Amino acid sequence: MADFLDIGVTGLRAFQRSLATTSHNIANVNTEGYSRQRVELSARPPQYVGGTYVGSGVQMDGVRRVYDQFLTDQVRTTSSAQQRHEALHELAAQIDDMLGDPEAGMAPVLQSFFNAAHDVADDPTSTPARQVLLSEAESLTARFHNVYDRLDDLRGAVNTRLDTMVEEVNTLASAIAGVNQDILNLPKDSMNGTANDLLDHRDRLITQLSEYVSLRTQDQSDSTVNVFIGNGQPLVVGTDSQALATTADPYDPTQLRIAFTGGGTAVDVTNQLSGGRLGGTLEFREQVLDGAFNGLGKVATGVAELFNAQHRLGQDLDGDLGADFFSFRAPEVLVHSSNSGTASISASITDVAQITTSDYRLERSGADYSLTRLSDGTVFDLDASGFPGVPVTVDGVEITLDAGAVADGDRFLLRPTRSGADSIGVSLVNTNDIAAAAPIRTSKSAVNTGSGQISAGTVDSLDANLTQTVAITFNNPPTTFDVNGTGTGNPSGVAYTSGSDISYNGWTIQISGAPAAGDTFTVAENTGGVGDNRNALEFAEIQNKPLLDNQTSTITDAYGSVVADVGSRTRQAQQADAAQSTLLAQSQAARESVSGVNLDEEAANLVRFQQAYQATAQVISSANLLFDTLLAAVRR
Amino acid sequence: MRVSTSQVHQQGVTAMLEQQSKLTKTQLQLATGRRIQVPSDDPTGAKGVLDLEQLIAATEQYERNADAAEARLTSEEVALNSTVDLLQRARELAVRGNTDTVNAEGRKAIASEVRQLLASLLGIANGKDQNGDYLFAGHQTDQEPFSDDGSGGYTYNGDQGQRTLQIGPTRRVEVGDAGSDVFMNIPGASQDVFSILYDLAADLDADNPDPASLNDLDAAMDNILTIQGKVGARRNAIERQNQVNESQVLQLQTTRSALQDLDYAEAVTRLNQQMVGLQAAQQSYAKVQGLSLFNFIR
């Protein structure tokens, strides 16, 4: 009989707890990362009374957290992957927008510049046409600078983001360690190890951390969790957390790298971190931003070098040989911060047809000097070509040791095209200095009797004797001719073939037809030739000729490659982001399906436990009635 | 599969956000008329469009160059036509001067007219083109090419240069002839055309006409006719190249349009579908969110 009341009380207690847990679930329906809790009830051990076992009510075994570790791990993995692609996409899309914009991109302004060059060729003495060419050149260089500045802003934004993210990671890491500490401080729970809500809290912290960087967790027997990032760096071990920090790149102090500061030393982990926003941002910088800088720089280098090379072969309105049209800085050579040598190394572009968009690392190991092309890992043996004693040329870039010595183990970073778009400028200011004419002119003597014709001639290179007067006189019979002029060596009896090239002193002409004996043809300086447009015709056509990439790409091709590269990376990132988002949604749905709170279910449970409580209360009431009856039975 | 309350909500919201995002993209396409908004929409297409635009711009520049060439050749042709007329008149005068029916007085009168013709010819030879450059000076277009010393000596101060203009990717056309070829070095004559006329006038003045001057005049006219032929051929070449350029621009523009332009019919249909999709997502969210057991347990 006493059991009757006891049993009722156990029921009341159990259902009270159940109702409390159900309302806890309902209250936390919108809490992120919450795992629903279930009260585990079991029958109390029976009592052996009078030869039979009699039940003794219900007991609460514990509050179970409905949870699946595998599903939570899935959410973390897909979260890292999705955030990585989202970060990459978000940043790459900014470059994509800028380069492809029909008004803001480089294509229209490149076109206007070369059109203006054609207009000068159409009317070489026109000052307005020349002025327009100079203005278009200014617009072109301004646009290059503009795009470069936007890329540079992104570079700065990446640094800022890295700083912020590293701080977030550190905060989360110490929070996780703090929760580990709390868990150790609290008394043990028989079912879960510790408080459910603390476990949920820690899970949420770890999931948030996985959004920043890929990680692995390891459960310990004392209910703490260890967290590892990169390729095994222990970010959280029990109650201790380590920290990440941003450090300056040893070659380029304006670039940040990530270091792991565990055990007192800082280890560079930039190349080991992957996944998450941090991994995605680092990937963006390495694969998209650096490529955009270099690709754009290659276009600018191509324009400046090719145009200057042709311009120098011409003659301006003052009768002088063409000066540099564009100004251009030499590529930068960066010194590693731990170098011990005193070397000062410089680089210059010598063959623009060979330049690539890759960066290069120069290093000395013992007696070996090697240059590694970082895009594909090709190594060039420099000391075999005489470096550092003589300058050496690789991929169109000449590298020279100017002063000092390279110590063993020293390293240098060479970035030939990185600042191309920033360093291009217009060197000419005076319209008279535009070299539209060619420096030589050809003529045939008025007293020639044959039908020989001489071509207008082209200039191939700047020879010291380029503008010396050279006379070509035909012998009798006119199957050979003599050449007379400084720098030609005055050869005689040169065989004549109609239409074939004749080259001396850096120019090339053709004589065709049937010259008679004694006929003379002359090549001389083009004094007063202001109406000559031959050099302008050449430099106006630079845009349409494949002069880059070993004579396979035009300037437009080179720019198009940059646009297409960035475009396809952005597209890849976008598609990967979409795919991963779907996977993330699926894994979240799977997790929610197990651990999420369903209000209808809890409502039904409320009704269930409420009824059970009412029924149990009725049991108490019955027990009371029985007691009263008993008391009434024994009262006098 | 068991679904939690927040999952129901999340899925509804995600669906609406997705529909909105697609709708916005279609809207932007319709507003700009371009299928490719950013290169990542279609990277190879975007590069193709860049290449086409460069070709179109280059070809349009060749058309402008061809116009400039045409203008200059027209100026030259006008000058050459006047020269032929002038030499024709001179020949008539020379023939008349050579006949015995004319007396010394008459010859003096003819000489006088010949000198007028000579002055006109010098003016034509020193003429300028539409830009103010001397037509027949070779490359030295800011210097008057022909000068006379007053006593029958004529000097050519220009050079033998010939300007060419680029009217096609591999096509250049000459837009002038050096004064030396037109007026000075005449095949079949022993002197330049000015000296021919000067001597003709002098001979007529001295009542001593020289029949050889007729041959010289013929040679001079033949030379001009030959050069006129070249100018005509160049103008034909320009016209042919213009046709090539025009049809090329048209073809390139068509290709670019195919790559870049939006198919409006398809886009509007898509817009309607997406709007319906968004409405459906919104309405179903509203309806489903209202369903809860708590509505029924009082």
Which ipTM was obtained for this model? 0.89
**Size of chain B, expressed as the number of residues it contains:** 298
Query: What pLDDT, in 10s, does the model give residues B8-58?
Result: 899 899 999 999 999 999 999 999 999 998 899 999 999 999 999 999 999
Q: What is the residue-averaged pLDDT of chain B?
A: 92
Residue A191 has pLDDT above 80, yes or no: no
Percent of chain A clearing pLDDT 70 (strictly above)? 100
The enclosing H or E element of A393 equals strand A392-394
pLDDT of residue B117: 94
CB contact under 8 A, A118 and B51: no
Query: In the structure encoding, which two tokens stand for residue A359, read together?
Result: 């960066």
Mean pLDDT, residues A557-568 taken together: 93
Listed residue (A552, A476, A542) closest to A515, CA to CA: A476
Q: Letter for the amino acid at A37?
A: Q
The helix/strand/coil state of A56 is: coil
Residues 6+ apart with CB under 8 A from B13: B285
Q: Give dist(CA B83, CA A198) in Å, integer.
A: 106
pLDDT of residue A359: 94
Mean pLDDT, residues B99-121 taken together: 91
Buried b (16+ CB within 10 A) or exposed e, A44-56: eeeeeeeeeeeeb
Query: What pLDDT, in 10s, does the model give residues A491-548?
Result: 988 899 999 999 999 999 999 999 999 999 999 999 988 999 999 999 999 999 999 9
pLDDT of residue A520: 93
Query: What pLDDT, in 10s, does the model give residues A595-619?
Result: 999 999 999 999 999 999 999 999 8
pLDDT of residue A212: 95
pLDDT of residue B102: 86
Distance from CA of A284 to the nearest CA of B (A): 15
- Residue B101 forms contact with A (CB below 8 Å): no
Query: In the structure encoding, which two tokens stand for residue A321, read together?
Result: 């040989």
CB contact under 8 A, A585 and B14: yes
Distance from CA of B23 to the nearest CA of A (A): 16
Measured between beta carbons, the chain B residues lying within 8 angstroms of A543 are 54, 58
Q: What residues 28-87 of chain B have any CB closer than 8 A to a CB of chain A?
A: 36, 38-44, 46-47, 50-51, 53-54, 57-58, 61, 64-65, 68-69
Measured between beta carbons, the chain B residues lying within 8 angstroms of A29 are 5-6
CB contact under 8 A, B2 and A100: no
pLDDT of residue B30: 95
Query: What pLDDT, in 10s, does the model give residues A289-336?
Result: 999 999 999 999 999 999 999 999 999 999 999 999 999 999 989 999
- Cis ω before B145 (30° cut-off from 0): no
Q: What residues 5-24 of chain B have any CB closer than 8 A to a CB of chain A?
A: 5-7, 10-11, 14
Mean pLDDT, residues A114-122 taken together: 96
Classify strands A360-365 and A368-373 as parallel, antiparallel or unpaired.
antiparallel
**How far are the Cα atoms of A117, A122, B64, B72 from residue A436, in angstroms, in the given order?**
9, 10, 18, 19
Residue A189 has pLDDT above 90, yes or no: no
By CA distance, what is A572's nearest residue in B? B40
Q: Give dist(CA A577, CA B249) in Å, integer.
A: 40
Q: Letter for the amino acid at A563?
A: V
Query: What pLDDT, in 10s, does the model give residues A21-55?
Result: 999 999 999 888 899 999 999 999 888 888 888 88
**Sign of the torsion formed by the C-alpha atoms of A209, A211, A216 and A220:** positive
Q: Give dist(CA B266, CA B260) in Å, integer.
A: 14
Residue B211 has pLDDT above 90, yes or no: no
Query: In the structure encoding, which two tokens stand for residue B89, read together?
Result: 């008149």
pLDDT of residue A86: 96
Listed residue (A177, A168, A248) closest to A213, CA to CA: A168
DSSP A380-392: EESGGGTTTTS-E
Measured between beta carbons, the chain A residues lying within 8 angstroms of B10 are 588, 592
Q: Give dist(CA B261, CA B36) in Å, integer.
A: 8
- Residue A6 forms contact with B (CB below 8 Å): no
Distance from CA of A530 to the nearest CA of B (A): 6
CB contact under 8 A, A532 and B184: no
- Residue A318 forms contact with B (CB below 8 Å): no
Cβ-in-10-Å burial (0-12, 13-18, 19+) of A366 comes to exposed
pTM for this entry: 0.89
**Sign of the torsion formed by the C-alpha atoms of B97, B98, B99 and B100:** positive
Q: Give dist(CA B297, CA A41) in Å, integer.
A: 25
Q: Give dist(CA A341, CA A443) in Å, integer.
A: 60
The helix/strand/coil state of A600 is: helix
Buried b (16+ CB within 10 A) or exposed e, A250-289: bbbeebbbbbbebeeeeeebbeebbbbbbbbbbbbbeebb
Measured between beta carbons, the chain A residues lying within 8 angstroms of B139 are 437, 441, 526, 528-532
Percent of chain A clearing pLDDT 90 (strictly above)? 73
Query: In the structure encoding, which two tokens stand for residue A558, read together?
Result: 């080179």
Residues 6+ apart with CB under 8 A from A366: A408
Phi-psi region of A479 (alpha: psi -120 to 50; beta: other; left: phi over 0): alpha
- Residue A94 forms contact with B (CB below 8 Å): no
Classify strands A453-454 and A440-444 as parallel, antiparallel or unpaired.
unpaired
Tell me how many residue pairs between chain A and chain B have CB atoms under 8 A apart.
194
CB-based contact A448:A516 (threshold 8 Å): yes
pLDDT of residue B220: 94
pLDDT of residue A1: 44
CB contact under 8 A, B160 and A443: yes
By CA distance, what is B129's nearest residue in A? A123
Query: In the structure encoding, which two tokens stand for residue A549, read together?
Result: 């990439």
Phi-psi region of B255 (alpha: psi -120 to 50; beta: other; left: phi over 0): alpha
Q: Give dist(CA B186, CA B216) in Å, integer.
A: 9
In angstroms, how far apart are the furthest CA atoms of chain B? 140
Q: For residue A426, what are the β-bridge partners?
A: A326
Query: What pLDDT, in 10s, does the model give residues B239-272?
Result: 999 999 999 999 999 999 999 999 999 999 999 9
Q: Report the Cα A183 to chain-centroid distance in Å.
A: 41
Measured between beta carbons, the chain A residues lying within 8 angstroms of B164 are 456, 533-534, 537
Measured between beta carbons, the chain A residues lying within 8 angstroms of B57 are 111, 115
Q: Give dist(CA B141, CA A350) in Å, integer.
A: 37
- Provide the pLDDT confidence category of residue A447 given band limits of 50, 70 and 90: confident
Mean pLDDT, residues A114-143 taken together: 96
**Sign of the torsion formed by the C-alpha atoms of B238, B239, B245 and B246:** positive
Residues 6+ apart with CB under 8 A from B257: none
- Residue A435 forms contact with B (CB below 8 Å): no
